[in-house]
Amino acid sequence: MVEKKVVIIGGGVAGAVLAKTIQHHANVNLIDPKEYFEIPWASLRAMVEPSFAERTVINHREYFTKGDLIVSTAINITESEVFTADGRKIAYDYLVIATGHTDPIPKTRTERLDQYKGENTKIKSARSILIVGGGPTGVELAAEIAVDFPDKKVTIVHKGSRLLEYIGAKASRKTLKWLKSRKVDVKLDQSVDIDSFTNETYQTSAGESIEADAHFVCIGKPLSTTWLGETFLKDDLDGNGRVQVDEYLRVKGRSNVFAIGDITDIQEIKQGVYAQGHAKLVAKNLKLLIEGGAKEPKLGTYKAQAPISIVSLGRKHGVAQFPFMTVIGRFPGIIKSGDLFVGKTRKELGLEPNAKKS
């Protein structure tokens, strides 16, 4: 029997888990502009401890051993083929779009590891650091620096009225209190023009001056779906650029095209653990469709997840929002902050949890 052709566009959390899970059940092509998968929620730890990235930046070929890896960018799709920037045309029976966010990072693992070393040098050599953005990335980076380098002066400038606006106000208040206890200066309802930098000073929209000899921009990255607006799926994007999916995670009205991860219009917090759930469900549904033959199988359905989130605050603390309570301190830190789920994620990809690859 001829193997069905599955094309996965995107090698982030969702795409990597799906490729690993489905590779022995179909002829799989994974298309990604970089040669590696990276555990995204661990990237900030790698900035203060570059050796941590040895476990979090993983060549696709370490876990995706059977299918075809195409290191390029998808630029167009039809109802039967995918076209890439390097001129390839790849036919598919089933297509899964998992492009996540636009993030201009290096192509090779070695270049990415070197980038972390450079960021670490930047932090170590700075006396004062400005972080633009008070979402989870900005908060976690500020906490990592405050814990590992307590002598650094850290300032967060956030345009919103509170930190971590994607979760509840109680979590925001507890996080703000924790940061202030670590001498992190937080300026809310303000923005800063990075280009306003003169004599090691930045100007905020409120007219305040911030002294800093290094800065990091930690604002949300755009969805990587704009290109779909020029394809046959152009009418399947909502007003926010998200792909509209049904309960099976198929693109609405399509029988053989799926979308998973942050690009979907599912009403839930966009985070890695849920993207992994999308991938596992679509892997199950693809197996059912491939093995079902002419018979239409009963596919698994996806239900939007409750707003649970854990934000790391350095190596031992965290703030956690659960459906009925918000907790800050050692308990959420024990859950996430020590290893940042890196060992668990590596294990799910079939890799040694603690192995380092040079």
Q: Which CATH entry fits the domain spanning 5-33+72-103+221-302: 3.40.50.300, 3.90.550.10, 3.50.50.60, 1.20.1260.10?
A: 3.50.50.60
pLDDT value for 294: 63
Which residues, 6+ apart, have CB-to-CB distance to 55 below 8 Å?
A: 342, 343, 346, 354, 355, 356
Percentage of residues in the chain with pLDDT exceeding 90? 89
76-108 pLDDT per residue, tens: 999 999 999 999 999 999 999 999 999 889 999
Q: Calculate the average pLDDT of the chain.
A: 95
Task: Indicate the DSSP class of residue 33.
Answer: S
- How far lies 68's CA from each of 42, 210, 341, in Å? 27, 50, 28
301-323 pLDDT per residue, tens: 999 998 889 999 999 999 999 88
30-48 pLDDT per residue, tens: 999 999 999 999 999 999 9
Whether the predicted pLDDT of 289 surpasses 70: yes
Whether the predicted pLDDT of 271 surpasses 60: yes
pLDDT grade for 354, boundaries at 50, 70 and 90: confident
231-260 pLDDT per residue, tens: 999 999 999 999 999 999 999 999 999 999
Query: Is the distance from CB of 69 to CB of 19 less than 8 angstroms?
Result: no
pLDDT value for 196: 77
> Which residue in 358, 315, 307 sits closest to 340, CA to CA?
315
pLDDT grade for 199, boundaries at 50, 70 and 90: confident
DSSP 5-26: EEEEE--SHHHHHHHHHHTTTS
pTM of the complete model: 0.94
139-172 pLDDT per residue, tens: 999 999 999 999 999 999 999 999 999 988 999 9
pLDDT grade for 349, boundaries at 50, 70 and 90: very high
The two most distant CA atoms of the chain are separated, in Å, by 70
Count other C-beta atoms under 10 Å from residue 5's C-beta. Answer: 18
Q: Where do the structural domains in the chain lie, given as residue ranges?
A: 5-33+72-103+221-302
Task: Indicate the DSSP class of residue 2.
Answer: P
Among 39-43, 129-133, 246-250, 294-298, the minimum mean pLDDT is found in 294-298
pLDDT value for 12: 97
pLDDT value for 355: 74
Percentage of residues in the chain with pLDDT exceeding 70? 98
Whether the predicted pLDDT of 356 surpasses 70: no
Query: Is the distance from CB of 309 to CB of 50 less than 8 angstroms?
Result: no
